[in-house]
Amino acid sequence: MASRSYGACILCQKAIVRMVCRNRIRGMSAAAAAHPEPMITFLNGVPHKKHPGVTNLKTLHLPEELSSAAYSIIKRAEVAGLTDRSQSLTNFLWSRKRAPEDVTLRQKARNLENVLWEKAKEKGEDVDQQDLEVRIRHKVMSELKRTTYHWTPMRYDEELGVTYMAARLAGGYAAVRRALNEIKKRDPLFAPHSLLDFGSGLGTSVWAAHSFWGDSLKEMICVDSSGPMNALAERLLKGDNESAEPHIKQVYFRQFLPVSPKVQFDVVLGAFSLSELPGQREREETLFTLWRKTSSYLVLVENGTKDGHQILMEAREILLKKQDKTVHDTRAASVFAPCPHEQPCPKLARVNIVPCNFNQRYHPLPLPGHPEHMMEKFSYLILTRKEPADLGEGLDWARLIAPVQRRPRHVHCHTCSADGQIKHWVITARKHSRDVYRCARSSDWGDQLPIIQSEEEDLESDSERSY
């Protein structure tokens, strides 16, 4: 009897397991039906780890010709204390802020003056009004000098240019190439013939663009006000050999933007250059000039700091909302990346502003003091004149704005979504379909995520959970 009871228990357990499995399969089928985004819709037969929203790149190397030329120039220059100087320059450029606006300074001075006058009234001392006014004015000026960022324009001679090469050549290349990869991945048929690089510096943007579109680019204009930087960029193209042919042909150097507003370029780039302009008015004028010269894509890159992010969001607002006085191309601007919407940036609406930035891993130049790998943190903005119908899928996919947290059978994703909100998703195969779940596990910070939100879906808003 005991053996029969034991056998019956085993049979019961097996029946229960079969029933649980059947219910689980039915539940997964129901979930898949509730999220009708099957693999063939957005994967097009590619593996999940290479889904269309993946725009991150593996650890980047400088092109061999560029790396060899840079090493040769640095070695021949023999800059004293180059390791320490390049690190100091890197720190300085990262912490560099925008030039303070006159309007902001005047308002700050008025507020401070009002506070000092109120304090003087509270004391109720019988003092000479003219003498008090002089003292308050002196205090206001002293406080402004103490608390205001003292911005000065960067002036590069050959020695500082070589130091900049050691400090920023590889990092700048990594940031621009990662931004351009967004276009290459999402608009694969795009084959630009012309490029304009504003604030070209050492010409790293040309090298980055050439790595994607070297077969189609026929004209590249580099604009930089620094003559020594233009000379160094040309030496890099020629492999530090004046008699050699440039590795990339059809590259022309200028110190000023082309005059004619009717001349357009397929791609217009501005990397780490808007932040070097002396004020808001100059930035606005430059932005309109660059946009007039854009026929397809305008790509802007800045440091991944609060100031860098805010400069790009101001540029976004100007080109989307303000009317240019000179219009030759009536096609409106639209945001291509990284924002999946054209509403105000939700990160700027917070009390404690955290910049929207992204990381790209790269190999620096093989110089003393440089580690094997480094990480470039940057912010970017891409605007386009193209119609949404010409850009394929993914325009409204959520953008991952923080590292993906992978857990057993679920994934935590923090995204900026098409409705202009920051959201925290807990993605599972049961709720979001197996394909979306596996894509989420294969994605990382900066990628797009093919999430189709339904009303009954359970997600936490950013206000419910911080990251």
Q: What is the pLDDT of residues 41-96, one digit of tens each?
A: 678 788 888 888 999 999 999 999 999 999 999 999 999 999 999 999 999 999 99
Q: Of the candidates 245, 246, 160, 258, which has an alpha carbon nearest to the alpha carbon of residue 203?
A: 246
Give me 40's structure tokens.
């063939």
Rounded CA gap, 367 and 347, in Å? 37
β 194-198/398-400 pair status: unpaired
Please give the pLDDT value at position 404. Answer: 94
Q: Which residues contact 18 (CB under 8 A, 6 or more apart)?
A: none
Please give the pLDDT value at position 286. Answer: 95
Per-residue pLDDT of the chain (467 residues; tens, 9 = 90+): 444 444 444 445 555 445 544 554 444 444 443 444 444 467 878 888 888 899 999 999 999 999 999 999 999 999 999 999 999 999 999 999 888 877 777 888 888 888 888 877 777 666 677 777 788 888 888 887 788 778 888 999 999 999 999 999 999 999 999 999 999 999 999 999 999 999 999 999 999 999 999 989 999 999 999 999 999 999 999 999 999 999 999 999 999 988 777 899 999 999 999 999 999 999 999 999 999 999 999 999 999 999 999 999 999 999 999 988 888 889 999 999 999 999 999 999 887 889 999 999 999 999 998 999 999 999 999 999 998 767 765 567 899 999 999 999 999 999 999 999 999 999 999 988 898 899 999 999 999 987 655 434 445 444 434 44
CA atoms within 13 A on the CB side of 279: 7
Axis-axis angle for helices 158-186, 82-95 (nearest 10) = 60
Please give the pLDDT value at position 264. Answer: 95
Rounded CA gap, 136 and 142, in Å? 10
Burial class (CB in 10 A: 0-12, 13-18, 19+), 203: buried
Burial annotation 361-394 (CB, 10 A radius, 16+ → b, else e): ebbbbebeebeeebebbbbbbbbbbeeeeebeeb
Give me 420's structure tokens.
């202009």
β 251-254/219-223 pair status: parallel
Please give the pLDDT value at position 65. Answer: 97
For Cα atoms 451, 456, 462, give the angle at the middle one, nearest 5 degrees: 60
Q: What is the pLDDT of residues 127-171, one digit of tens each?
A: 677 777 788 888 888 887 788 778 888 999 999 999 999 999 999
Local structure of residue 218 (DSSP, 8 states): -
Provide, rounded to the nearest whole percent, the portion of the chain with pLDDT above 90: 63
Rounded CA gap, 228 and 277, in Å? 19
Please give the pLDDT value at position 140. Answer: 82
The model's pTM is: 0.84
